[in-house]
Chains A and B, each alone.
Chain A
Amino acid sequence: MKDMEVTVIENREVIKDHFLLKAKVKGRIPAFRPGQFVMVKIQGPQVFLRRPFTAYECEKDTISILYKVKGVGTRVLSKMKRGEKTFILGPCGRGFSITERELYVVIAGGIGVAGVNLLIKSLKKNVWIFFGTSSSSNLSLLGNLTNYDLFISTLDGTYGKKGDVISLFREKIDDLKNKDVEIFACGPKEMYKSLKDALLKYRLPCQVLYEERMACGMGLCFGCVVETLDPKDPIKRVCYEGPVFSLWELSL
Chain B
Amino acid sequence: MGTFPLELFGKKLRNPVMNASGTLGYGKEIERLWKISTLGAFVTKGLSVFPHKGNPQPRILDLGFGMLNSIGLQNFGIKRFLEEYTEFFIRRKTPVILNIFGFTEDEYVECGRLIGENPAVLALEANLSCPNVKQGGIIFGKDPKIVGRIVRGLKSVTKIPVLVKLSSEVTDIVEIAYAAYEAGADGLTLINTLPGMWKERDTLVRGGISGPFLKFLALKAIYDCKRSLPIPIVGAGGIMNVKDAILFLEAGCSAIQVGTATFLDPLAIPKIVKGLKAYFKRGQKW
Q: Per a CB cutoff under 8 Å, which of A49, A223, A240 touches B71?
A: A223
A73 CB contact (under 8 Å) in B62, B71, B264: B62
**In the bound complex, do residue A221 and residue B264 qualify as a contact, i.e. CB atoms below 8 Å apart?**
no
A212 in contact with B263 (CB, 8 Å): no
- CB < 8 Å neighbour of B25 from A2, A72, A89, A220: A220
Check B53 against A235 for contact (C-beta < 8 Å): yes
B76 contacts A by Cβ under 8 Å = yes
Interface string of A1-44 (1 = CB under 8 A from B): 11100000000000000000000000000000000000001000
Q: Is the CB of A3 within 8 A of B265?
A: yes
Does A68 sit at the interface, judged by CB under 8 A? no
A110 at the interface (CB under 8 A from B): no
Are B264 and A49 closer than 8 Å at their CB atoms?
yes
Contact with B along A44-80 (1 / 0, CB 8 A): 0111111000000000000000000000110000000
Instruction: Knowing A3-B33, A218-B32, A240-B29 are in contact, say whether A47-B64 is a contact too (CB < 8 A).
Output: yes
Distance A2 CA – B266 CA, assembled complex (angstroms): 9
The number of residues on chain A lying at the interface, defined by a beta carbon within 8 Å of a beta carbon of chain B, is 32
- A45–B65 Cα gap in the complex (Å)? 8
Assess A216 versus B54: contact at CB under 8 Å? Given A221-B22, A223-B69.
Answer: no
| Residue in chain A with minimal CB distance to B56 | A227
Q: Is A100 an interface residue (CB 8 A)?
A: no
For the complex, give the distance between the alpha carbons of A46 and B23 in Å.
22
Bound complex: CA of A153 vs CA of B227, how far in Å?
A: 69
The residue of chain A having its C-beta at the shortest distance from the C-beta of B71 within the complex is: A222
The A-contacting residues of B in range 81-129, CB under 8 angstroms, are none
Q: Which residues in chain B, 30-89, are within 8 Å of chain A measured between CB atoms?
A: 30, 32-33, 45, 53-54, 57-60, 62-67, 69, 71, 74, 76
Q: How far is the CB of B230 from chain A (nearest CB, A)?
A: 34
Q: Please, which residues of chain A bring their CB within 8 A of the CB of B163?
A: none
**Which of B45, B69, B211, B264 sits near A50, CB closer than 8 Å?**
B264
Asked whether A219 is an interface residue with its Cβ less than 8 Å from the other chain, the reply is yes
Q: Are A220 and B23 in contact (CB under 8 A)?
A: yes
* A247 close to B (CB within 8 Å): no
Bound: A249/B29 CA distance, A: 23
Chain A, 98-134, CB within 8 A of any chain B CB: none
B197 contacts chain A at the CB level, 8 A cutoff? no
Judge whether A150 is part of the interface by a CB distance below 8 angstroms: no
- State the A residues within 8 Å of B (CB): 1-3, 41, 45-50, 72-73, 87, 89, 212-216, 218-226, 233-235, 240
> Could you write out 9 A-B pairs with CB less than 8 Å apart?
A1-B32, A1-B33, A48-B66, A212-B57, A216-B266, A218-B29, A219-B29, A220-B30, A240-B29
